[in-house]
Amino acid sequence: MSSTPQTARNVQHAAVEWAVRRHTDETWSDADQQALDLWLAEAPEHLLAYWRAEDGWGRTELLGALRPFRAPSVRISDQGPRNWARRIAAVVALTALSGAAAYALHEAPSQPEKTYSTVVGEHKTLALSDGSQIEMNTDTVLRANIARGKRQVVLVKGEAYFQIKHDSARPFIVFANGHRITDLGTKFRVRNRPNSVEVALVEGLARVDTNSNAQSGHSALLKPGDVAVATANSISVTKKPAAILSHELAWRQGNLIFDNAALAEVAAEFNRYNRQQIVITDPKVARLTIVGTFPANDAEAIINTAREVFGLKAEQANGRITISR
């Protein structure tokens, strides 16, 4: 593979070449893998192109398992000079699926899955067989499928922090609310909300794709500090300082950090970690702002702050704490 500057078309062709070789060449060696790793490290565009090629190959394998289909035969050993058309056919021929169908296939991996969950207020760390690690936040459910040929996680609900071990041959893919996050050697947080998915990248690179079809879908390449919010039809990306991202990950140490946050926002966040819910009915009270660090499972800390700082009342009844003037 050449390391000289390439056009977008040539980069895509090279990525397809790498993907086909890795999946069909029986003589694939450690040296070949090292060469692939070097090519991927040259530019983010190489990573994106390779992910797409691998994604296409995965779809062909899964589709073949679901229904009869004869794929073009590719024999690497007897091709002589590289024949782009034949190699590209091996990946492209079966990838003429609609985007929605492709996501549906990925959401139902053929390999056995393991399901993990946390209850309200619980924090759990998973050590995966590939060396990666997942920290699950409160009230979270995920399904993990870490097999020889794939690494996939479905975040059914909740929030998790991922620390992924580098493996260029098997990009790590997270599905959440129909969206897809693809990464390679990355640290990132994913929060599955009712109508959107939020992805915060701490380290490395990651790509976020919406669940729209291939013609109208959106994708974004994230760099450290980027926070993406993906809805069914759009992706917005903003940049946050490392200190802010660190505050948002304070739950990993059992804390919640607020910096001039409205009391309504503080209450909503505490309610994620506690079965006893905080209720604020007065709009003026809801707009009061708080600064501080609090234990996530200690609603009393917020109640005491509301009383001492703002002179508010707190009444407990029927599993609820109502804060008012």
Q: Same domain for 44 and 155?
A: no
Short-list 156, 235, 152, CA closest to 196: 235
Predicted TM-score (pTM) of this structure: 0.71
- pLDDT-derived band at 13 (thresholds 50, 70, 90) equals confident
The residue ranges of DSSP E strands in the chain, in sequence order, are: 114-117, 124-127, 133-136, 141-146, 151-163, 172-176, 179-183, 187-192, 197-203, 206-209, 219-222, 226-230, 235-239, 255-262, 277-280, 289-295, 313-317, 320-324
User: Bridge partners of 226?
Assistant: 239
Q: Same domain for 235 and 259?
A: no
Q: Same domain for 235 and 207?
A: yes
pLDDT tens sequence across 217-268: 688 989 999 999 999 888 999 999 999 999 999 999 999 999 999 999 999 9
Q: What's the CA gap between 174 and 205, in Å, rounded?
A: 14
Task: For residue 144, tell me if it sits in a domain.
Answer: yes
Q: Same domain for 224 and 121?
A: yes
Q: What's the CA gap between 283 and 35, in Å, rounded?
A: 60
Q: Same domain for 229 and 116?
A: yes
pLDDT over 90 percentage in the chain: 48
Q: Same domain for 114 and 230?
A: yes
Give the range with max mean pLDDT: 62-76, 213-227, 259-273, 307-321: 259-273
Structural domain that includes position 84: 8-96
Q: Same domain for 118 and 75?
A: no
Domain termination site, one of 74, 96, 118: 96
Q: Same domain for 116 and 82?
A: no
Give the total number of structural domains in the chain.
3
Task: For residue 28, tell me if it sits in a domain.
Answer: yes
